[in-house]
Structure 1
């Protein structure tokens, strides 16, 4: 089964199939791709919530953004793939808020300004 997850400017395409619990991200192991423990826990959260961490092999292709955004995208992609695989898994994922897309994006730079919110310094004279 497949699932797509997005966060900020990151996109993760996730494929799951019944297996032994291998998790590959961009042809690397989880600990090699995400060295920070918080990112590893975030990616594994949907598998642990449904107690499926040793039942599925997960292959993730992730692009764009930084490490935290990519981990969030992978989380949503895995949750959606599990939900597509078995409808009964959707309820525990929703209860832990793992099926919700984080809609926060970087605000665009406005014309005539230094940044999204930053203005040029005001000079009275």
Structure 2
């Protein structure tokens, strides 16, 4: 029997980051870009954010997660990982959908960096007004 069968696959997005998540039977370890979770995200808040879908569905030690994430910064990547994990968990067991949705983990966060406008210094910054 083949051991590396993916039970659930999910794609998560946040800001400019995109995460592909593969869930397999296991003991609860999370590998992101061939690194352990705490090695990839040294900030404890980001580690907690990535683990939240497992905590909400009471499946901390049931699955191993293999995640490939590209683009964005640490915060966006952590949000993308959490979104992808939530989607994969909902795919495995539809009963998880209610708890994940009520905690806002299945909703893609639409907040993006506003673009810079032409003729200005930044997205909202204007040049200093001179009356005289």
Alignment of 1:1-125 (within 5 A): 1-125=8-132
| Residues in 2 aligned to 1:111 and 1:84: alpha-carbon distance in whole angstroms | 44
Shift of 1:124: 2.3
1:57 partner SS:
strand
Provide, for residues 77-124 of structure 1, a one-character-per-residue CA deviation record: whole Å limited to 9, x for no partner.
000011111111111111111111110000000011110000111222
Whole-angstrom distance in 1 between the partners of 2:105 and 2:28: 20
TM-score (norm 2): 0.91
Q: CA deviation at 1:47?
A: 0.4
In structure 1, distance between residues paired with 2:41 and 2:28: 17
Would you identify which runs of 4 or more consecutive aligned residues in structure 1 move more than 4 Å? none
RMSD: 0.9
- Give the number of equivalent residue pairs: 125
Shifted more, 13-22 versus 75-84: the winner is 13-22
Unaligned runs of 5+ in 2: 1-7
